[in-house]
A and B are shown apart, each in its own frame.
Chain A
Amino acid sequence: MTARTDGLGGVELTNVTKRFVTPTGAAMTAIRDVNLRIEPGQFCAIVGPTGCGKSTTLTLAAGLETPSAGTVKVSGKPVEGITRGASFVFQTDALLPWKPVVDNVALGPMFKGEPKKEAMAKAMDWLQTVGLAGFEHHYPHQLSGGMRKRVSLAAALINDPSILLMDEPFSALDVQTRAIMSNELLTLWDRQRPSVIFVTHDLEEAIGLADKVVVITAGPGTVKAEFDIDLPRPRGAVQDIRFDKRFLELYQQIWAALREEVEQTYSRSAIAAKARGARA
């Protein structure tokens, strides 16, 4: 395992609250008093019920949003504006449909001012790494969902990020493709060892990939519990580790914590639906 040498990465959220105010003046608290610490090079998965503010945590770490209270630090420095050294992988591919695959991957270096030729050469290398040699000049719509996800990964990793933020990146993929992509993600992560915050609904995915699983409460979200995943690395195939005894133990522990929150969210949405029905 190769640790990062620059010591960068690591995310620290201290008493972070984020409130969104709508134009009509109504405030919605997405997360409340979140304390979270991710070490440099650590792979952290965040699980929680729908609408608990998991994604908000990512946008705060990326610097796309500023916290209403509390501090967000990345690589030891408070976040001001867009976080340097961060990359983001979205649930839907954030690829530019009018650019061929290689141009999409080359965007990172190009935005940083690298000459076009070098950026393209780098992008070619990365496409090779993610197994897409020969597809450089295809447009995104000509690729399958799994291939587009590989392009997204290459585009995110080409900048050698110290933190990698992933918002349910594989949830739109079918189960088999998702398993393959999970394995590849681990391989790629091991090359550069960025800190990862991986938001997901899927507890199996979270345990299979991460060093640490954080459970967030029903919205407004706050950290309910943290679990260290002591499964040895390299983990091998994510599909196989699911049958590991330790994996099942961890799964039961974490699910016990998560279940209450999920149930609470469900009952709340049921009540809300009933109220809407009554009004209508």
Chain B
Amino acid sequence: MSAISMTAVPEAASDEASLAAQARARFKRHKQLVLLGQVAIFLVIVLGWEIAARTGFIDQFFFGSPWGICVRLFTWARDGTAYGSFWLQIWVTLEESLLGFAAGVSSGIFFGVLLGEVPYLAEVIGPYIKIVNALPRIVLGSIFVMWLGLGLPSKVLLAAVLVFFVVFFNAFQGVRSVDRNLISNARILGASRLQVVRHVVFPSAMTWIIASLHVALGFSIIGAIVGEFLGSQRGLGLVIATAQNTFDANGVFGAMLVIGGLALGAEWLMSKIEKRLLAWQPSNTRDSTIQGI
């Protein structure tokens, strides 16, 4: 066996190399084609919109135009808005979402693990949580603004409530689906209940929790913006509400674009954190979760 493979090596090696080179070239070409398609779609939409707006095919007043959006964003950045600089508005929204995210995630994990660990509590409280989850929670924003006023706390609370349920259900499910053998083994090795939670249950549920964080992040931004919509003195939600009231389509789209940018940035950061936290997983399963959009 080894003698045969040794004589066959030189010929096979050159063959291998050319095969590998071909495969690499094919892969590169494929990537270029994908990129080309993406750029083409972007150009068609943006240019089509701009041309349609300029030729009067669609009404600029209602639909805005890509150029108009750029101008609007530029004037905001240079002159600020009616309630302070544009950067301040971005920062306020970011602060509200991040605080809401942190509060929602930590409380979601805490109660998810608690209810997952104590079946009695889960059975008693379960139906109530389902009821609250079925309600359109976004409406709670109105109550929060009434309770907590126009400032930061009402938005943080709304964002936190939205985030809580997403994280809670995943943490709960994660705790429930921990491998029983792992728990038995830890107990036999002498682990106390707290040690089992810390070393086995929580890390095991972590994969579920992390999966929920992407959705939760989106919800925290939605919570902050909607909260600002419902009543505030600052923030991107207020910027949008003002633009709406003045029939400034470019303004609405512009603020939307900024929010999209924020969300993308947060998403990117999240992926980095996720990759770090899940470093122990076999790489093939990890890749598939990232590419699965």
Contacts and interface: CB of A to CB of B under 8 A. Distances in A.
Partners in one complex: yes
Interface of A: 59, 62, 64, 82-84, 86-88, 90, 92, 94, 96-99, 107-108, 111-112, 139, 141-142, 155, 159
Interface in B181-226: 181-182, 184-192, 195, 199-200, 203-204, 206
Contacts, number: 59
A96 B184 contact: no
Give the most central of A59, A64, A96, A159: most B CB within 10 Å.
Answer: A96
Top 8 nearest A-B pairs (CB, nearest first) are A94-B185, A111-B190, A98-B280, A111-B191, A108-B189, A94-B181, A141-B282, A88-B188
Interface in B148-206: 179, 181-182, 184-192, 195, 199-200, 203-204, 206
Interface of B: 179, 181-182, 184-192, 195, 199-200, 203-204, 206, 280-282
A195 to B, nearest CB: 15
Contacts of A142: 282
Q: Describe A's contact surface by its main secondary structure.
A: loop
Contact of B182 (A94, A108, A112): A94
B186 A107 contact: yes
A87 B189 CA distance: 7
A97 B281 CA distance: 8
B190 A97 contact: no
B184 A64 contact: yes
Contacts of A99: 203, 280
Nearest to A82: B187
A107 B189 contact: yes
A88 B282 CA distance: 26
Nearest to B200: A96
Given A62-B188, A108-B190, 8 more contacts: A64-B187, A82-B187, A82-B190, A83-B188, A88-B184, A98-B203, A98-B280, A111-B195
B200 A111 contact: no
Contacts of A96: 182, 199-200, 203
